[in-house]
Amino acid sequence: MAREEFEHGYDPEELHLITPRKRDFKMLVSPGHAGWYCENAYEDFTSDLLLNFFKGNMLFIDIGASYGYYTLLVGTKHPDCKIIAFEPVPESFEILKRNVALNQMRNAELHALAVSDKDEVRKLKVTELSSQSGFYEQRVAKTLKEIEVRTVHLDRFLEKTPKVPTIIKIDAEGHEPYILQGMKKFLRDAEDVKLFIEFNPDCLRNAGYEPTQFLEEVCQFGFDLYVIDDDRRMTYKLGQGDFGRWTDYLPDGEFQKTYANILCIKKQESLSVLFFSHSSQLTGQERSLLELTKQAADNNIVCSVVLPSEGPLRGKLDEAGASTLVIGYHWWCDSALLPDEEIKSRLSSSFENAVNKLGELSKINPDVVYTNTLVIPWGAVAAFFLGKPHVWFIHEFGEFEFHLPFQTVLKVIKNSSSRILVNSDAVRNTLFKTTRSKNILTLGDDSAEEKMGAEVLELLRKLKGTVNPWQDAFSQLGAQATLTDLQTKDSRIAKLSNTLDTHIKDAKIKLQEKTAHIAKLETSLHELQYQMQQIQQGIPMQLVTRYQRIVERLLGQGTRRRRCYELMLTGIRVILNEGWRSFWNKFRQRL
């Protein structure tokens, strides 16, 4: 950003009235900030996630509100939600007030205060870029002046605030650790609280905090941490061993390794689910999956969805606040039996594509993997390699043209699933009639979609922390492999390829048998057609012969009329036996 764009950052006469991209509210901003909101969709995925977690009567606390983007985002969408916003820079606070009035908001309580770990007066550095002002020197924006501001800590400030579900956004240019220290009691006592915190390693170090230390402290407050990649629209759940590798999780776009927002959800409420969809379209099963992800946000569940291609479902999932990842994979069945080389190519490429994305799937770090249909096994494959529990939801039944023997398909499903869900007794009785297992659950035929979704989400929550059941699944496919044998990607692919070869041979034999049967049917059909032709030709020939006898009996030889009749009958025989072309050639010769 050019320095001249900073010059009017605090001049109320130079403000621009804008509508942030993809949003439906207006706001005043300085010239240097206009491009943040208009040229790009500002923190687009963070904004969508935050909105999708809101429901009913909630409290939103905006710490470091600046001009009020997040205050306006929440307040205009949820007028029943109470908002408390803090902004200590006087010039920015005045713009914040004007923006709230501009959007006719009545639910925002604004405070010209800084939030910290204690109540006191501190010196704050006002920088040339107002959004970078804070208690510490900034590398990207020069300090213009220092002012004294009053600080509050939230444990005291919120003492009389009713206990309701709360979302807190914190953007304090490195002061985030001290803000959290000042709300220990609130975070401990609140039953439903989520945090959206800016994680800026440079600013944290300016404040005397190592980034790894800060992440560990947030975890110790009882939260699971999800790094938000706004460019890719992805969330990555940090495991305990990931805090020291935080650089791997920062966006690598234009602002490479500078900052990212982190979503924090209480551990007892947090759940990350990785869904696998068979299609990117918007038909029945895809719509059910979409509704399930919408319900998930109301239950503190972070959703990621793997798709086989681009399609309309991806856009709808974006609107629902779900992460999406495209992996090119095929079904393991088709409407018709394919050539064996095509089957091998499809299965091998799909398996390899899934394995090649294991690094990205590991960063997503789901608690549970969920496959939404019978026709793809790749969710089960991913769950196995990730070591995560797997749920298979089956809506359909019948022996389709699977690329493996159907009984083998059912064995894979049973052995690779922590739970199998079916949507009706008809499906269960068709596929698993002889199987008695507590892991196969029927969701009632009469269940409303919302009730069914609640049952599924409750089941997924119960599976959090369990292990993947598919230790013996590869042996069901004929590959006598152990987990030790599958340490490298090449060995995994090779072993599955050998297994596929065996079953492709079986499919080829089955195809040859079907081909031979079809050939017999074709031969029988040709014989019937020939017999029909003979019958059809035989009837007029019999008539011709009958009329020939009548002519011989009634007309004397050598008469003119008899010669005409004989010529006519001869012509009919030629037509019946040899066709019209032969008759015409002979007729021309006589002429």
- CATH number (domain holding residue 216): 3.40.50.150
- The DSSP line for 382-412 is HHHHHT--EEEEE---S--EESS-HHHHHHH
Whether residue 290 sits in one domain with residue 208: no
Whether residue 480 sits in one domain with residue 538: no
Domain membership of residue 518 (yes or no) is no
Domain membership of residue 517 (yes or no) is no
Whether residue 241 sits in one domain with residue 367: no
- pLDDT-based confidence at 476, cuts 50/70/90? very low
Lowest mean pLDDT among 20-24, 217-221, 284-288: 284-288
- Domain end, chosen from 236, 266, 296, is at 266
For residue 355, which of 192, 521, 494 has the smallest C-alpha distance?
494
- List CB contacts of 549: < 8 A, sequence separation 6 or more: none
Whether residue 421 sits in one domain with residue 276: yes
> Under DSSP, is residue 334 helix (H, G, I), strand (E, B) or coil?
strand
Domain membership of residue 154 (yes or no) is yes
Whether residue 58 sits in one domain with residue 147: yes
Domain membership of residue 516 (yes or no) is no
**Is pLDDT at 542 greater than 80 in this prediction?**
no
For residue 575, which of 540, 530, 533, 534 has the smallest C-alpha distance?
540
- Domain end, chosen from 266, 301, 318, is at 266
The structure tokens listed for 495 are: 């072993």
Domain membership of residue 520 (yes or no) is no
CA torsion sign for 248, 70, 59, 316 is: negative
Whether residue 385 sits in one domain with residue 290: yes
- pLDDT-based confidence at 553, cuts 50/70/90? low
User: Which pLDDT value is given to residue 561?
Assistant: 66
What is the reported pTM? Answer: 0.78
Lowest mean pLDDT among 413-422, 438-447, 473-482: 473-482
Whether residue 398 sits in one domain with residue 262: no
For residue 386, which of 354, 434, 345, 419 has the smallest C-alpha distance?
354
- pLDDT-based confidence at 437, cuts 50/70/90? confident
Maximum CA pair distance of the chain? 141
When computed from its CA atoms, the radius of gyration of the chain, rounded to whole angstroms, is 37
User: Which pLDDT value is given to residue 465?
Assistant: 87
pLDDT tens track for 58-114: 999 999 999 999 999 999 999 999 999 999 999 999 999 999 999 999 999 999 999
Domain membership of residue 324 (yes or no) is yes
Helix (H) or strand (E) holding 518: helix 489-554
pLDDT tens track for 238-285: 998 899 999 888 866 444 458 899 999 999 999 999 999 999 999 888
The rounded distance, in Å, linking the Cα atoms of 501 and 507 is 10
Residue 370 pairs in a beta bridge with 275, 391
The rounded distance, in Å, linking the Cα atoms of 465 and 388 is 8
For the chain, the domain total comes to 3
Domain membership of residue 313 (yes or no) is yes
User: Which pLDDT value is given to residue 480?
Assistant: 41
468 or 475, higher pLDDT: 468
For residue 413, which of 333, 507, 497 has the smallest C-alpha distance?
333
Give CA separation, 35 vs 17, 19, 22, 41, 252, in Å: 12, 11, 14, 10, 20
Average pLDDT along the chain: 84
- pLDDT-based confidence at 473, cuts 50/70/90? very low
**Is pLDDT at 546 greater than 90 in this prediction?**
no
Whether residue 218 sits in one domain with residue 85: yes
CATH number for the domain including 467? Answer: 3.40.50.2000
Domain enclosing residue 258, as ranges:
3-266
Whether residue 530 sits in one domain with residue 456: no
Whether residue 476 sits in one domain with residue 447: yes
Whether residue 282 sits in one domain with residue 261: no
Exposed / middle / buried, residue 477 (Cβ in 10 Å: 0-12, 13-18, 19+): buried
For residue 315, which of 360, 285, 280, 291 has the smallest C-alpha distance?
280
Most confident of 67-76, 475-484, 544-553, 574-583: 67-76
Domain membership of residue 215 (yes or no) is yes
Whether residue 444 sits in one domain with residue 431: yes
For residue 333, which of 503, 513, 516, 517 has the smallest C-alpha distance?
503
- Domain end, chosen from 249, 266, 283, is at 266
Residue 439 DSSP label = T
